[in-house]
């Protein structure tokens, strides 16, 4: 529910921010449902991502000043609110010369896409990557970041009523090939691999049959990284894929990555700098968004939970 709360007093190491925009991500909904691996103690404010403007800082705060833009550096901050007071170390400064929707959707999906492309296989220009749920926020970021690095993408989506429109949108972002889950089994897949090499990296956000079919096209010794399970079905791997093709199965969770690198500010800063540079050069855009005022949050949550959603709901404050 929407509630009026008192803003906490500003401590010496705290920052008072005015939220500008915050998306509704699948993980946010899972947290509200109580099914996510991190749950905030109740009563809690929803939202793990967004961008805010600094209004005031405590007297020990050195890295931030009024007018700066900040995004959450940690999970569970509770971004679906107009204002909040947070400890300085829970916030990360971002440039205010990037579009507000890019900043609001920066800390989860583009970071996930960037790390998965960088950390599991050494990819060079001309190499290829295959991914399912290619129209998701992460999927759209993967297409654009890969394109900027000269890496080809094979993008798998579910068949749907407005498929041609979706294919056109993903191609406009820089996708090389867009196929449906059904096409993964068809002989036409061979035609794709006449012009590009088989992928060494597969990114899985679905699970179930989609994953098994995608795995067939992975090169021997290739890696499949699972970062979501939208089908709510296990990942099934034929024994032959392990024995005769020595495929590797890994997992990725951006929250864990940030925890593991909490003392390594350099890797976080360099990732953020690269992503902001891509945004400035027009090579990385915000996912397709529907902007909704906070008071209409119920409609936004309902829309975010509908199947085949191609637009991310963004709360505006």
Per-residue pLDDT reduced to its tens digit, 219-257? 999 999 999 998 889 999 999 999 999 999 999 999 999
| Residues of the chain where predicted confidence (pLDDT) is lower than 70 | none
Residues recognised as catalytic: 36
Planar angle of CA 312, 272, 56, nearest 5 degrees = 85
Query: What pLDDT, on the 0 to 100 scale, is given for residue 308?
Result: 75
Cα distances (angstroms) measured from residue 139 to each of 183, 221, 227? 18, 23, 11
- Count other C-beta atoms under 10 Å from residue 32's C-beta: 17
**Containing domain of residue 194, as a range?**
109-254
Query: What pLDDT, on the 0 to 100 scale, is given for residue 130?
Result: 98
Query: What pLDDT, on the 0 to 100 scale, is given for residue 6?
Result: 94
173 and 147 in a common domain: yes
Query: What pLDDT, on the 0 to 100 scale, is given for residue 263?
Result: 87
Query: What pLDDT, on the 0 to 100 scale, is given for residue 309?
Result: 74
247 and 205 in a common domain: yes
Query: What pLDDT, on the 0 to 100 scale, is given for residue 296?
Result: 97
158 and 24 in a common domain: no
Query: What pLDDT, on the 0 to 100 scale, is given for residue 61?
Result: 97
Is 265 part of a structural domain of the chain? no
- H-helix segments, the chain: 26-33, 100-104, 109-119, 137-148, 163-173, 189-195, 209-215, 239-243, 254-260, 265-280, 297-304
Q: How many domains does the chain have?
A: 2
Burial class of residue 60 (count of CB atoms within 10 Å of its CB; 0-12, 13-18, 19+) = exposed
Say if residues 84 and 54 touch (Cβ distance below 8 Å).
no
124 and 73 in a common domain: no
CATH number at residue 187: 3.40.50.720
Which pTM does this prediction carry? 0.94
Is 171 part of a structural domain of the chain? yes
Query: What pLDDT, on the 0 to 100 scale, is given for residue 103?
Result: 98
Burial class of residue 121 (count of CB atoms within 10 Å of its CB; 0-12, 13-18, 19+) = buried
């Amino acid at each position: 529910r929407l509630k009026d709360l008192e803003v906490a007093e500003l401590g010496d190491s705290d920052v008072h921010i005015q939220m500008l925009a915050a998306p509704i991500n699948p993980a946010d909904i899972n947290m509200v449902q109580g099914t996510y691996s991190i749950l905030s103690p109740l009563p809690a404010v929803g939202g793990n991502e967004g961008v805010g403007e600094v209004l005031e800082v405590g007297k020990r705060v050195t890295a931030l000043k009024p007018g700066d833009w900040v995004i959450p550096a940690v999970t569970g901050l509770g971004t679906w609110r107009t204002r909040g007071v947070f400890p300085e170390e829970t916030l990360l400064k971002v440039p205010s010369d990037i579009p507000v929707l890019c900043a609001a959707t920066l800390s989860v999906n583009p970071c996930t896409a960037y790390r998965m492309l960088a950390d599991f296989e050494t990819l060079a220009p001309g190499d290829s990557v295959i991914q399912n749920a290619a129209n998701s926020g992460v999927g759209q970021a993967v297409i654009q970041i890969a394109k900027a690095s000269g890496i080809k993408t094979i993008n798998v989506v579910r068949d749907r009523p407005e498929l041609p429109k979706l294919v056109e949108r993903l191609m406009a972002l820089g996708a090389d090939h867009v196929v449906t889950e059904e096409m993964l089994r068809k002989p036409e897949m061979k035609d794709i691999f006449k012009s590009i090499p088989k992928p060494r990296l597969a990114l899985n956000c679905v699970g179930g049959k989609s994953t098994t079919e995608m795995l067939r096209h992975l090169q021997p010794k290739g890696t499949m990284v699972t970062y979501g399970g939208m089908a709510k079905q296990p990942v099934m791997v034929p024994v032959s894929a392990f024995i005769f093709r020595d495929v590797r199965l890994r997992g990725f969770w951006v929250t864990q990555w940030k925890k593991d690198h909490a003392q390594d500010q350099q890797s976080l800063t360099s990732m953020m700098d690269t992503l902001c540079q891509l945004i400035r050069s027009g090579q990385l855009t915000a996912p397709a968004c529907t902007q909704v005022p906070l008071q209409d949050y119920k409609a936004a949550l309902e829309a975010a939970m509908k199947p085949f959603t191609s637009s991310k709901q963004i709360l505006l404050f």
